[in-house]
Copies of this chain bind each other. A is one copy, B any other.
Amino acid sequence: MTQQKTFREVIADGEGIFQPSVSLDCVIFGFHENELKVLLIKAKSTDHWALPGGFVFKDEDLDDAATRVLKERTGINDIFLQQFHVFGSAKRSDWNIHRSNFKKDGIEIGPDHWLLKRFITVGYYALVEFAHVITTPDSSSEECRWWDINEIEELFMDHKQILDKALDTLRLQLNHLPIGYNLLPQKFTMPELQKLYETILNKTLDRRNFQRRMTGFGILKRLKETRKGGAHRAPFLYSFDMRKYRKALKQGLHGGW
């Protein structure tokens, strides 16, 4: 799927190699400069940006397909990736947009083409470390870049709804999972972690209570280093204690904000 030719082959052959009716879309979250970002793609000739998605090979597990799509777009594997909802409205697709897009792209597809059939899509959301990602459009005809969560207004088909649902899920999970690990670099400061939570929850939190709570979970290791360079008191660096972190992942964190 890395070259135009392969892309065309896939378009022609999809019915033979993919599981029919089923697609998946990934909401890939990153965190950069105190902003929550989402990775979006765009076909050259299309007006709207879209979530990176794909189809499932006939002998491929659904989760593996999601992992594959993620790897294709970010170069990363082995990260937090989780299905969160299935979107199965009968009218969620917009065939006309599809066709005209391909036409602009120089590909003609007939009215019975498999891409124009109805698809039920499984939404996955991923948490990735922004700096580790190499954004990779899946063919020369596409762009691929990070968007600030708040910039996004309209997306391809029902992708905005999918994104919103992913955000809701993320916020719910925040109270049960120690989410920082996949979104932050290995070493980070407490204020950085707090900014992450504040950004996701879209509200400000008390600095001291946040610290008390976070350290109370017992999943953080405070390093002896500090982050110098800021014009103020140097904050300690932290990293996750992976043993306790995994334990917490299973049991879930208590309480809520």
0/1 per residue, A40-83, Cβ < 8 Å to B?
A: 00000000000000001011111101000000000000000001
**How far is it, in angstroms, between the C-alpha of A88 and the C-alpha of B121 when the chains are bound?**
12
- The listed residue with most B CB atoms (<10 A of its CB), out of A62, A83, A90, is A90
Residue interface bits A93-123, CB-to-B below 8 A is 1, else 0: 0000000000000000000000000101010
Contact A88 B122 (CB under 8 A): yes
**Which chain B residue has the least Cβ–Cβ distance from A21?**
B21
List residues of chain A with CB under 8 Å of any chain B CB: 19-22, 56, 58-63, 65, 83, 85-90, 118, 120, 122, 172, 176, 254-256
Closest 7 A/B residue pairs (Cβ): A62-B88, A21-B21, A20-B20, A20-B21, A61-B90, A61-B89, A59-B90
Instruction: Report how far A21 CA is from B65 CA in the complex, Å.
Output: 15
Contact B120 A88 (CB under 8 A): no
Report copies per complex. Answer: 2
**Given pairs A62-B89, A255-B256, 18 additional interface contacts (CB within 8 A):** A19-B21, A19-B120, A20-B20, A21-B22, A22-B22, A61-B89, A61-B90, A62-B86, A62-B87, A62-B88, A63-B88, A83-B85, A83-B86, A86-B86, A86-B122, A120-B122, A172-B176, A255-B255
Q: Could you tell me if A60 and B19 are in contact, using CB atoms closer than 8 angstroms?
A: no
Tell me which residues across on chain B come within 8 A of A85, comparing CB atoms: 83
22 pairs from A and B in contact (CB 8 Å cutoff) = A19-B120, A20-B21, A21-B21, A22-B22, A22-B120, A56-B88, A56-B120, A58-B90, A59-B90, A60-B90, A61-B88, A61-B89, A62-B88, A62-B89, A62-B120, A63-B88, A65-B88, A86-B122, A88-B122, A172-B176, A254-B256, A255-B256
